[in-house]
Amino acid sequence: MNSEIIQHRSYSLGKEQIPLVAVESLDDIERMNLKEKIKKKLKEREAVIVSHYYTDADLQLLADETGGCVSDSLEMARFGRDAKAKNLIVCGVKFMGETAKILNPEKQIFMPDLDANCSLDIGCPVDEFSDFCDAHPDRIVVVYANTSAAVKARADWMVTSGSAIDVIKYLDANNKKIIWAPDKYLGDYVQKQSGADMLIWQGSCIVHEEFKSKELESLCKNHPDAKILVHPESPSSVISQADMVGSTTAIIKAVSEMNAKKFIIATDKGIFHKIKEVAKNKILIEAPTAGKGATCISCAHCPWMAMNSLKKLLHILETGENEIFVKKDIINRAKGSIEKLLNFTNNNKDVGLANDA
């Protein structure tokens, strides 16, 4: 089918653009004290935590224990839209905080660290992207959730990893030609699954891009009984080895429901916390990231997700710092592309289910 690749420029990040994150080292008593203070402050501020599966286990536990939510980016958006709390604390990355603000402009949205970004968002600057869309006015613009509010405002639709195939199939069935941004690997996977006519932006996730296919093949030889679960932001040579390809939620569900004991998992290792909670007796193996002679950039953990911490969370609750603001005109335009997805998923209850590779 007519899938074209944008050749003019690569949107890979240089090493200097990737933060080195110092992990907070806390003993059990410090951790417990911080958590108690955070719980108190959440009540005072009438706030709830919306946390992604890739954040620190303590942040996930806190979100679950205090009436918040731990989920993938589709469910984070849904939860944010429906939440009754006055304030939302988004533990994740910038696009997640912005999406929450766009869907709840009347609420105050805070993040533990406003510099927590995403290589896909950075790799899709709005001006260049807008020019590109203007050059292809016959195409409908579909962007992944991992983009800035301004890019969503330029788009017709926003999708998540859990909804992309269903939305693109729907648009293809309605004879739409598509511009897809920013993830080239997810775009390629969705194109193969849907057969749609897609022009694909050349961005990538620095975490998933690092999974190595040859090393995965060798690992599988040592574990022939393991099922391979892969997030679709990974390269096609990794996806092609998968028993199941899906969003973070779909991966967690697959470990619980598949009739296997052992799993090799190609996504950020932050997800292992939730998997261990819901599927206690399974054996989990990290998919390999560093090839021979290669150095590991992310080591399967997103450096921006790792910027979220208990100390920073308490700090923003105490000070009211790190509020997310999005300009009104951007909110109004971006809301349209996000709400299209939320309405689509409301009307199509099966959206988000995993795909066998």
Residues contributing to the site for ligand 13P (CB under 6 A): 72-74, 146, 160-162, 205, 233, 247-248
Piece in contact with ligand SF4 (CB under 6 A), picked from 77-85, 149-157, 195-203, 299-307: 299-307
Nearer to ligand 13P, 49 or 317 (CB): 49
Contact 50, 92 (CB under 8 A): yes
Nearer to ligand SF4, 116 or 314 (CB): 116
Query: d(Cα 111, Cα 120) in Å, to the nearest integer?
Result: 19
- What one-letter code names the amino acid at 322? N
Nearer to ligand 13P, 34 or 142 (CB): 142
Among ligand SF4, ligand 13P, none, residue 247 binds (CB under 5-8 Å by kind)? ligand 13P
The structure tokens 């988000």 sit at 352
Of the candidates 47, 102, 305, 310, which one interacts with ligand SF4 according to CB under 6 A? 305
* Residues 53-92, mask of contacts with ligand SF4 (x by CB under 6 A): ----------------------------------------
Among ligand 13P, ligand SF4, none, residue 304 binds (CB under 5-8 Å by kind)? ligand SF4
Largest Cα span, the chain = 60
CB 187: neighbour CB atoms within 10 A? 27
CB of 72 to ligand 13P, least distance (A): 3
Query: d(Cα 304, Cα 113) in Å, to the nearest integer?
Result: 9
Contact 189, 245 (CB under 8 A): yes
Residues 142-171 touching ligand SF4, rule: CB under 6 A, are 146
- What one-letter code names the amino acid at 152? K
Q: Does 206 bind ligand SF4 (CB under 6 A)?
A: yes
Among ligand 13P, ligand SF4, none, residue 161 binds (CB under 5-8 Å by kind)? ligand 13P
Contact 59, 49 (CB under 8 A): yes
Cross-strand bridge partners of residue 183: 203
Cross-strand bridge partners of residue 262: 283
Among ligand SF4, ligand 13P, none, residue 160 binds (CB under 5-8 Å by kind)? ligand 13P
Among ligand 13P, ligand SF4, none, residue 119 binds (CB under 5-8 Å by kind)? ligand SF4
Q: Does 51 bind ligand SF4 (CB under 6 A)?
A: no
Query: d(Cα 222, Cα 215) in Å, to the nearest integer?
Result: 11
Query: d(Cα 337, Cα 38) in Å, to the nearest integer?
Result: 34
Query: d(Cα 235, Cα 207) in Å, to the nearest integer?
Result: 11
Nearer to ligand SF4, 42 or 70 (CB): 70
